[in-house]
Each structure stands twice: as structure tokens, then as C-alpha cells.
Amino acid sequence: MTFRFEEENYQNLYVLEDFYCTNPFCDCNHVTLSFSDKENPDNRIAFMLYFNKIQSSLPDQQKLSPGQAQIVKKFIKEIPDELMNLFQQRYHEAKAYGEKNPRSYLIFEPDQYVNFMMMFPRSKETLDFTFKGDKYYAEDAYKMDPRCEDINAQLTLYKVDPNAENVPPVFTYIYHFNEKLREGEDKNLTEKESEMIFELNRFIPGLNSIFKKRLKEARKIGEELMKASVKAPLKPHKSQRNELCSCGSGKKYKKCCALKLN
């Protein structure tokens, strides 16, 4: 759609573009709108429009000029119901697309745990269990970076409360695949936490195999995202032996990429 605005005496012809978040776990409830000048692409008016007709600026965006602010204000005030309904329809289509294509919203970040359901939103394999008569569930997260040597899963346990919107986690636990490392982690658990982990293992047979399979799947996605990501320019900096390695592994340079170079 194209627009000319009286606030500018109809001097510029703008093209309306709409953008949406595809993450199905994000209840953002807004559309990002952009009016781009057809003849001058640098002349652009962009903002977020929530479906209750509240406007918000984009992060790290320069403040709109008084004329641009007037354009946005009048556009929102006079926006037809049909156009608002179209935005909402496209919003739901974007979320449905994200559910089928998680790579549309996943970002490759070295050394970061990513929730398994964020990577595989259509998975029906949940980690539910019962502890002392109450229902709980665990969310498992993994480091997607295929170069990372951390072989573990980060578990966050929650109590099921259908009447609460935001349930705080009970505790977070690193499940190491290495038994000795796992035994060391278990020593830091309280008695209640230890009992809950025991019940989780009892309710879900083969939990270790499930985590290993999911880590493998997460690393596969990470490898694909890493190949598709924009390569950062090399910095003219020589890593020192005791510095953290620039690859993002979290290890010192001398114990990471320096070994590979040698």
C-alpha cells in the first residue's frame, strides 16, 4: 500500500511494510510498521503498533521528528478496522510459520543455553513428573554450538499451577552426562531438590538417553545456524594465553583454540 501524508504537503510517496515476530512462544501482540520513501530509502518512518492501538518506538531507533510523529499519530487514529484485522491475521500466520520453521527466529549465540521447546516447538515429549502429590515439569536447555565441549543439559524445574500466569522456577540444575561430574553437581542440591531429581528420573525412564538425543539435535541446528550466520570481521588482536578464547567456548585460549592451532 502507498500513502501520501498531508503533514508533508503530500510531497513524499511512502510504501507501507509490515513485519512480525515468528517466535510462537512470544506474546508480543504487535506489528512493526515501516513507511519507506519510494524515491529515498533512507527516509523511513518505523514504529511498533500494538493491537490495542498503542504505539511504541523501535529499540535503538532515533527519535521521530515532529512531522513524522504527527504522521504516525494520525495514521493510528484513522487506521481502518479492515487493515487492523489484516495485521492481526498476518501476526497469527507469522506465529504458525515459526512453529513449523523455528530457524526463522532462532539466533546462534555461542555458550548460550537454548530451551529445547524453542528449537522444536512441535515436540510432544514433555518432562512431567509428580512429587509428593503435586505435579511438576522440567524444561531442558542445551548449548547449540557444535564446537562447545560442555556435554550437559540445563534443567529448570517448575510446579504446575493452572491458576498462575507466571510460575517461578523451583530450581535450576545442570545434568552432566559424565557420571563423576553429575555426582559433583548433586552434592550441591538440597535434600528436597535431590528427591525431585530422583522422582524425575523415576517417572521418565531412559532420561539420560533422551537428553543425549536432544543435545545431538540441538547441535545439528546450531551447526546449520552457524553456517548461515553472518561472519563477523576478524579483529587485529592476538589472543593472550590466559584470555578467554574468542570462539566463545568459555575456556582460556591456551586450553582451547591454541591447542588446535598447535
pLDDT tens column, 148-188: 998 999 999 999 998 887 889 999 999 999 999 999 999 99
Band of the pLDDT at 60, cuts 50, 70, 90?
confident
Supply the pLDDT for residue 163: 86
Task: State pTM to two decimals.
Answer: 0.74
Domain residue ranges of the chain, discontinuous segments joined by + = 2-102, 113-228, 235-262
207-233 exposure pattern, b = at least 16 Cβ within 10 A, e = fewer: beebbeebbebbbebbeebeeeeeeee
Render pLDDT for 126-135 as a digit per residue (tens, 0 to 9): 999 999 999 9
- For residue 68 the three cell numbers come to 513524522
Q: Return d(Cα 183, Cα 160) in angstroms, integer.
A: 28
Who wins on pLDDT, 258 or 127? 127
Look over the chain and give the mean of its residue pLDDT values, rounded to a whole number. 88
- For residue 115 the three cell numbers come to 530451551
Band of the pLDDT at 59, cuts 50, 70, 90?
confident
User: What are φ and ψ of residue 176, in 5° steps?
Assistant: -80, 140
Q: Return d(Cα 130, Cα 132) in angstroms, integer.
A: 7
Who wins on pLDDT, 112 or 250? 112
CA-to-CA dists, residue 132 to 31, 126, 144, 208, angstroms: 44, 20, 34, 23
Supply the pLDDT for residue 257: 52
